[in-house]
Amino acid sequence: MSRLLHISSSPRGDESISLGIAETFLAEYRATHPGDTVDHFDLWDGTLPEFGPAAAKAKMTVFGGGVPESEEWDDAVRTFERFDSYDRYLFSVPMWNAGVPYKLKQFIDVVSQPAMVFGVHPETGYSGLLRGKRAAVIYTSAVWGPGLGSEFGNDFHSTFFADWLRWAGITDIQEIRHHPTLTGDYEVEGKLADEQARRVAGTF
């Protein structure tokens, strides 16, 4: 049986488009994977630790072959271990100012540690260590949309996050998108996104 973790990065609760699509995905996933574990990590729930000076120093200690001693580092390790205990991930990711919400960037910076998410070699470079895992990602935006000019913004949102997933070793990735733009039909686009979410969830 698989373990699925939904990592949500919107603080908007019931008003969040990305969370609404995620609920559609999860309802279908539970119906089609009745034996699987499904959990939720709300990045706004206050449990995501800071990664400040002490943790940064500990990270450099690890790079130098030493043993870090830092409460911040221990918090980062625990957050990674929670994340790594799952083999399936659903990320709900609204676009904020052409990028991802800062809480999601904070999560990435907390868990992306040497010998956990990545390895690095002086001759061959980085290697992602999160192999054998799958990710589904819900990308939403209100103004930017595929095919629009830069006057409507730019997508450093999905490009950044998809690159991080691949860098971390997760290559089995499926996307669900909702980009109605300022002139689009929210109801129609919402139905299309929900249909896509159910389709992906059913075989995830």
- Domain containing 119 — which CATH number? 3.40.50.360
- Residues 31-54 have a mean pLDDT of 96
Instruction: With CA atoms as reference, report the closest residue to 182 among 139, 148, 155, 150.
Output: 148
* Confidence (pLDDT) at 77: 96
pTM: 0.95
* Confidence (pLDDT) at 68: 85
Range of the domain at 24: 3-202
What is the C-alpha separation between 29 and 204, in angstroms, rounded? 8
What is the C-alpha separation between 59 and 77, in angstroms, rounded? 11
Q: At residue 63, does pLDDT exceed 90?
A: no
Strand 3-8: give its sheet, edge to edge.
Answer: 37-42, 3-8, 88-94, 134-140, 172-178
* Confidence (pLDDT) at 118: 96
Each residue of 1-14: pLDDT tens digit?
999 999 999 999 99
- Is 36:4 a contact under the CB 8 Å cutoff? yes
Residue whose pair of structure tokens reads 């990735």 in the numeric block = 173
What is the C-alpha separation between 186 and 180, in angstroms, rounded? 6
Average pLDDT, rounded, for the chain = 96
Identify the H or E element spanning 90. strand 88-94
What is the C-alpha separation between 119 and 101, in angstroms, rounded? 26
CA atoms within 13 A on the CB side of 63: 12
Each residue of 159-200: pLDDT tens digit?
999 999 999 999 999 999 999 999 989 899 999 999 999 999
What is the C-alpha separation between 193 and 137, in angstroms, rounded? 12
Q: Looking at the 3D structure of the chain, how many domains does it have?
A: 1
Each residue of 108-141: pLDDT tens digit?
999 999 999 999 999 999 999 999 999 999 999 9
Q: At residue 65, does pLDDT exceed 90?
A: no
